[in-house]
Amino acid sequence: MEKGRVCVTGAGGYVASWVVKLFLSEGYIVHGTVRDPEPSVTGTQNVLKACSAARVKRVVVVSSIATVMMNPNWPQDRVMDENCWSDMEYCKKIENVFGWYCLAKTAAEREALEYGEKSELEVVTVCPAWIIGPLLQPNMNYSSMIFTDLLKGYSY
């Protein structure tokens, strides 16, 4: 018996692939989306607009610690919380995949929260720090790639 339908965006990612597996095991019909190499903000806007049109009540955005940790001006003795954002100009200056990743995640999360404030859609975010474990997808996710790079002696 069908329990309902859910949409999981970024279904090819680590967290989302496990969410999809859980929903399927519980009898839900799952519609998954995967990322196109188009920009993160545009994709976020498209999903949020589609959710609004479908009268979805709440969207949970699995973001990243990358949205808060890249702020060199944040006081060292202050806990990073919802008031701390990665400095997007600082992220641009890094000029490597990590800097661009932090920039894209920060811009997308800001867009999602701003959209939620302007609409009736409740938007909440989760910013995991490190995601590792058994992979369901055939390629390695970014967090696991960083971890293996660190074990190989690379620094970020």
Residues recognised as catalytic:
105
Whether the Cβ atoms of residue 121 and residue 115 lie closer than 8 Å to each other: yes
Where does the chain have alpha helices with state H?
14-25, 40-53, 88-94, 97-118, 142-151
- C-alpha closest to that of 99 among 110, 107, 90: 90
- C-alpha closest to that of 133 among 8, 15, 9: 15
